[in-house]
Structure 1
Amino acid sequence: MITSSGPRGRTIRVFLADGTPTGILTAEIMASWTGKAIVAPRSRLPDLLSRPEVTRTGVYVLSGPDPNDPLRSKVYVGEADSVKARLVQHNADEAKDFFNRVLVIVSKDENLTKAHARFLESRLIALTQAARRATLANGTAPDFTLLAEADTADMEFFVEQISLILPILGFDFAQPQPTISSSAKPESGPTPVFEMNAVGVTARAVETESGFLVLKGSTARAKGNESWDRYRDLRDRLLGEGRLIPSSDPSVLTFVEDVAFASPSAAAAVVYAGNMNGRIAWKVESTGQTYKDYQEAQIQQVANE
């Protein structure tokens, strides 16, 4: 008998309703979830509205680039007894001009009630706020807690399945920020800590499935080089979000929480406040081996097996 202490494998069926990856998609989790997700570009809204699923009670998300911050998306989360009718209203609303994709989530067995939908809306808004990956267009954030205990448990499971399926459909607005504990990969062994010491600052980081995670307490240079042209906007955004703050030393900034970067070079540039090759700048804390050499050694080990 094969046993595993790691996460279970799951089957998620994504169907290209019109045969193209940029058209209308549906997604279901096989054998475990009564929900169904339908995604469409705004240009295909008439085709989406013609589908029978959108006449049901459900939740929906309008998503598009944030006009005020090109590095972020902007989302609006809503619920309705008839998602179709509500989407028609939003399409005519100039305040919703930002969205270019629509996500609708309903139940295949049509057992979602108005109360269920309001609970799901509240939870998705809360997850979006906590994730801090997107600008939330909702003017209010309702805290809906009127469900019976059994219904609450069922809807929390429903939310877990939505959270699982969203990244596969290209939505990250509710994906939690990674931490060391949430990014641990026990089957791969311990993750080394990488360190970067430069220009009077010290930063520590680990590699995770969600990105290169610079750890809380790390420091970064406050004033960048004049020639700095890569990831400067990212550093400014972290300052604006309060995740990177001034310290008692005016030349140094401090990370007040773990922050994930898309690459070691992005992390290194923010720490150094200048253009920097992160594959060389980051070194294994215990050995001094560069990230580049460490990664190549890991790959070579597998290649030789």
Structure 2
Amino acid sequence: MTFGKTIKMFLIDGDPSGRLTCELSNWTGLAYRIPRTEVKKCGDRPNLNSTGVYMLFGRNDDDKEAVYIGEAEEVYTRLQSHLREKDFWNEVIVFISKDENFNKAHIKYIENKLYEKAKATNRYDVLNGNIPPMPSISEADCAEMDEFISNLLMMVNTLGHKLFEEIKDNLDSTNSEAWYINAARGAKAKGVQTQEGFVVLKESRIAISIVDSFSERLIAKRDDLIHSGKIQFINDEYIVMEDLLFSSPSLAAAIVMGRSANGLAEWKDTYGKSLKDFT
């Protein structure tokens, strides 16, 4: 059973794009979202120099969303060093404990769990050079930290980053059944609608060739998926190697079929009814 949540945000400088704090009712955690350009102002936040974990958000050299996940016993001091040493990031989200109950082992445990979760969801390029080590803590402490992490994941999503969100986590409850395309040139795909768009599922097949009229934009998108290894040519078929999120059913259908397509008409259920029939 899920319950409603109350989240309180405070704009520190009265600017919605500036520094803010974020709190969840009945939770000891406190989140800060700070633009890179505002980090030096945070000397006025004494609790930022306590023990915590943080995520640096930006884009990598290929213009893909990227993140660095870290921990520190004095977070503000560490962030100042990152200003000098890491140039990819433009925003940081920090989590500390309002009751100052974190020790070094606690934050290393959280750091490791966040790293593993971010790698598993594969939404962002995780720029950590090494896997954060897992410390030895008691079973009781593990349970407490896991509960803290559960709320932390929700807060990161609330603050605009789907770093830890599985692509298929947010299925559209009104239309969550599977949809299919069986078409020319080997296109045979299965997909689902989510709150973010349309997901073509792993092991789907896309057309082995494209039509002459296929737009340059769509060719570039298809080529990028192939070159990144998300779609691979195996046994004379192009196979989808992981769930792929598209902004619309039409874009998903076009990539699958190798031609321009109206996704509302092309994606059909097992009875042959199209998405359009359900809108």
| Equivalent of 1:103 in 89, 93, 98 | 93
With 163-172 and 209-218 compared, the bigger mean Cα shift is at 209-218
Answering whether residue 25 of structure 2 is matched by residue 48 of structure 1, we say no
CA displacement 1:106-146 (0-9 Å, x = unmatched): 00111111111111111111111111111111110123131
For residue 258 of structure 2, what is the aligned residue in structure 1?
Answer: 273
C-alpha distance in structure 1 between counterparts of 2:116 and 2:239, whole Å: 27
Question: Does the Cα contact within 8 Å between 1:229 and 1:275 map onto a contact in 2?
Answer: no
For residue 126 of structure 2, what is the aligned residue in structure 1?
Answer: 136
Question: Does the Cα contact within 8 Å between 1:133 and 1:172 map onto a contact in 2?
Answer: yes
In the TM superposition, residue 183 of structure 1 has moved relative to its aligned partner by: 4.4
Question: Does the Cα contact within 8 Å between 2:167 and 2:199 map onto a contact in 1?
Answer: no
In the TM superposition, residue 49 of structure 1 has moved relative to its aligned partner by: 3.8
For residue 209 of structure 1, what is the aligned residue in structure 2?
Answer: 195
- SS of residue in 2 equivalent to 1:28: strand
C-alpha distance in structure 2 between counterparts of 1:258 and 1:101, whole Å: 27
Gaps of 5+ in 1: 1-5, 296-305
Question: Does the Cα contact within 8 Å between 1:27 and 1:36 map onto a contact in 2?
Answer: yes
C-alpha distance in structure 1 between counterparts of 2:238 and 2:43, whole Å: 50
Gaps of 5+ in 2: none
Q: Which one-letter code corresponds to 1:262 in the other structure?
A: S
In the TM superposition, residue 256 of structure 1 has moved relative to its aligned partner by: 3.4
For residue 276 of structure 2, what is the aligned residue in structure 1?
Answer: 292
TM-score for the superposition, normalised by structure 1: 0.83
Question: Does the Cα contact within 8 Å between 1:59 and 1:80 map onto a contact in 2?
Answer: yes
- CA distance change for structure 1 residues 272 and 19 in 2, over 3 Å: closer, same or farther? same
- CA distance change for structure 1 residues 60 and 145 in 2, over 3 Å: closer, same or farther? same
Aligned length: 277
| Equivalent of 1:228 in 211, 215, 235 | 215
Q: Which one-letter code corresponds to 1:206 in the other structure?
A: V
| Equivalent of 2:103 in 105, 113, 117 | 113
C-alpha distance in structure 1 between counterparts of 2:93 and 2:245, whole Å: 26
TM-score for the superposition, normalised by structure 2: 0.90
- CA distance change for structure 1 residues 130 and 232 in 2, over 3 Å: closer, same or farther? farther
Q: Percent identity?
A: 35
C-alpha distance in structure 1 between counterparts of 2:88 and 2:176, whole Å: 40
In the TM superposition, residue 17 of structure 1 has moved relative to its aligned partner by: 1.9
CA displacement 1:194-244 (0-9 Å, x = unmatched): 222222312121212343122233210133345323344443343344332
Question: Does the Cα contact within 8 Å between 2:123 and 2:163 map onto a contact in 1?
Answer: yes
Answering whether residue 6 of structure 2 is matched by residue 11 of structure 1, we say yes
Question: Does the Cα contact within 8 Å between 2:12 and 2:21 map onto a contact in 1?
Answer: yes
C-alpha distance in structure 2 between counterparts of 1:74 and 1:192, whole Å: 32
- CA distance change for structure 1 residues 233 and 153 in 2, over 3 Å: closer, same or farther? farther
C-alpha distance in structure 1 between counterparts of 2:87 and 2:4, whole Å: 39
